[in-house]
């Protein structure tokens, strides 16, 4: 199959065609020609779309699908279709299934279930057995089967010594350890950011300190052990500063931020909408601005949708008892495009996550594999349930004004468009 992308503006800082508008010819998954104008032949699949832009394929490093165990939330097969139509060529799958992904068989099940799909999946193995935080999982075996990192999704490692041993052990095979930044004893039964809004609304608060003290501990351990540490979904201004200081010390640490923490604050909670109950919680405007600045300065390396589908039975309930989580794949680009420039978005959705998680880097150049996200950065719209492709509909972005349209992807010799 030969595919021709007409008049595509290329966004790839590593490519000699960066910011140039070109025709791109793809044959059997390989970019065979990039030129000002390429004449289509009869058998070509021609893509001509308004204000067409392409970048290296976006990679979301924190995606939850329900299967196995919670198929009513999302199946793997449908989930990768959602990811493809949302512009993601690669997704890292969290281990929060039933059973937990804490052994090589579970990793292999995920990979084999959607082998050959347009969007490639990369399992994250649980750091501890059944994500209980008591005993370390079979990390080496899981990596040999295809796991790209190890962490207990949205569960902190409360045992200091366990994290220390994990960081030491993972160095034997260059493994990446994830540590969720939350001290449960300080967070307590909190359900929202501790501050003015939680007080006004009568909601139990989660202090910023609960995140920051955990990050400080993790960084002390990393300084002692060495190794590679990734801190997912930070949410406070002080967290940005702590990681900035650690990087200046030369520690091998990276971090990510969820799209909703860049776009929304705890001012959103006045309607008690359980779709806005996320972990970590929506923070203050000061935190939001600090996170954006952290991205621009390169302190925060990666942006994730932190896509987490939750069934209606666990969301359409009282705010305090609802499960944490929001879907985010479909809204990720439109939300980011309102607060960041395109080059920063591509760097933090593609280049940086590929490098950190050991997934093949890509470049838009002739004779290279075509791994492309396809989009239009223009066009404001109000995000509604009609824009949701996911099985679950628990989006924090409902009724929000977003900017830009994702057309789809080209990856694994497949063109997937969302038109």
pLDDT digits (tens, 9 = 90+) for 234-253: 999 999 999 999 999 999 99
Report the distance separating Cα 412 and Cα 62, nearest Å: 21
Contact between residue 187 and residue 207 where contact means Cβ atoms under 8 Å apart: yes
pLDDT given at position 363:
98
The reply to whether 152 belongs to the active site is no
- Three-state DSSP at 387 gives helix
Return the CATH fold of 2-53+367-417: Urease, subunit C; domain 1 (2.30.40)
Active-site choice (271, 306, 324, 403) = 306
Give the length of the chain: 419
pLDDT given at position 419:
87
pLDDT given at position 234:
98
Domain boundaries, the chain: 2-53+367-417, 57-357
Band of pLDDT at residue 1, cut at 50, 70 and 90: confident
Alpha-helical segments (H) within 250-351? 259-263, 285-297, 332-339, 342-346
One CATH from 3.20.20.140, 1.10.510.10, 3.40.50.300, 3.40.1280.10 for 57-357: 3.20.20.140
**E runs forming strands in 221-363:** 228-231, 253-258, 302-304
pLDDT digits (tens, 9 = 90+) for 272-294: 999 999 999 999 999 999 999 99
Token pair in block for residue 386:
């009609």
- Fold match flag (2-53+367-417 vs 57-357): no
Report the distance separating Cα 137 and Cα 156, nearest Å: 15
As a dihedral over the C-alpha atoms of residue 48, residue 54, residue 56, residue 57, rounded to 10 degrees, the angle is: -60
Report the distance separating Cα 254 and Cα 295, nearest Å: 12
DSSP element (H, E) containing 144: helix 139-145
pLDDT digits (tens, 9 = 90+) for 129-187: 999 999 999 999 999 999 999 999 999 999 999 999 999 999 999 999 999 999 999 99
Report the distance separating Cα 301 and Cα 295, nearest Å: 7
Contact between residue 283 and residue 263 where contact means Cβ atoms under 8 Å apart: no
User: CA 21 → CA 13, 17, 328, distances in Å?
Assistant: 14, 8, 30
Region for 291 from its dihedrals, namely left if φ exceeds 0, alpha if ψ lies in -120 to 50, beta otherwise = alpha
């Amino acid at each position: 199959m030969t595919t021709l992308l007409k008049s595509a503006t290329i966004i790839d800082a590593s490519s000699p065609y960066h910011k140039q508008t070109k025709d791109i010819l793809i044959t059997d998954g390989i970019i065979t020609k990039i030129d000002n104008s390429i004449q289509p032949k009869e058998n070509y699949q021609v893509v001509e779309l308004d204000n067409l832009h392409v970048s290296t394929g976006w990679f979301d490093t924190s995606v939850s699908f329900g299967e196995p165990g919670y198929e009513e939330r999302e199946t793997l097969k449908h989930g990768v279709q959602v990811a493809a139509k949302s512009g993601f060529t690669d997704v890292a799958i969290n281990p929060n299934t039933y059973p937990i992904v804490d052994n090589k068989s579970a990793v292999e099940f995920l990979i084999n279930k959607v082998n050959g799909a347009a969007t490639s999946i990369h399992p994250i193995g649980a750091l501890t057995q059944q994500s209980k935080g008591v005993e370390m999982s079979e990390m080496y075996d899981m990596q040999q089967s295809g796991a790209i990192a190890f962490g207990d999704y949205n569960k902190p490692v409360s045992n200091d010594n366990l994290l220390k041993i994990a960081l030491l052990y993972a160095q034997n095979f260059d493994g990446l350890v994830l540590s969720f930044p939350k001290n449960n004893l300080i967070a307590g039964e909190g359900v929202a950011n501790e501050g003015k809004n939680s007080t006004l609304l009568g909601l139990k608060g989660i202090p910023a300190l609960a995140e920051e003290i955990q990050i400080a501990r993790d960084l002390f351990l990393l300084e002692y052990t060495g190794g590679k540490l990734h801190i997912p979904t930070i949410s406070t201004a002080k967290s940005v500063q702590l990681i900035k200081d650690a990087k200046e010390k030369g520690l091998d640490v990276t971090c990510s931020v969820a799209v909703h923490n860049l776009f929304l604050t705890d001012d959103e909670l006045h309607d008690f909408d359980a779709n806005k109950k996320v972990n970590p919680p929506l923070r203050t405007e000061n935190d939001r601005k600090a996170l954006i600045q952290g991205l621009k300065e390169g302190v925060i390396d990666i942006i994730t949708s932190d896509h987490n589908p939750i069934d209606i039975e666990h969301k359409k309930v009282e705010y305090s008892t609802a499960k944490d989580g929001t879907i985010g794949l479909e809204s990720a680009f439109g939300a980011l495009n309102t607060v960041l420039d395109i080059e920063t978005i591509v760097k933090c959705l593609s280049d940086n996550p590929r490098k950190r998680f050991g997934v093949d880097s890509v470049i838009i150049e002739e004779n290279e594999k075509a791994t492309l996200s396809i989009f239009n950065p223009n066009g404001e719209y109000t995000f509604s349930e009609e824009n949701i492709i996911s099985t679950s509909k628990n989006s924090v972005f409902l009724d929000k004004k977003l900017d830009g349209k994702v057309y789809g992807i080209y990856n694994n010799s497949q063109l997937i468009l969302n038109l």
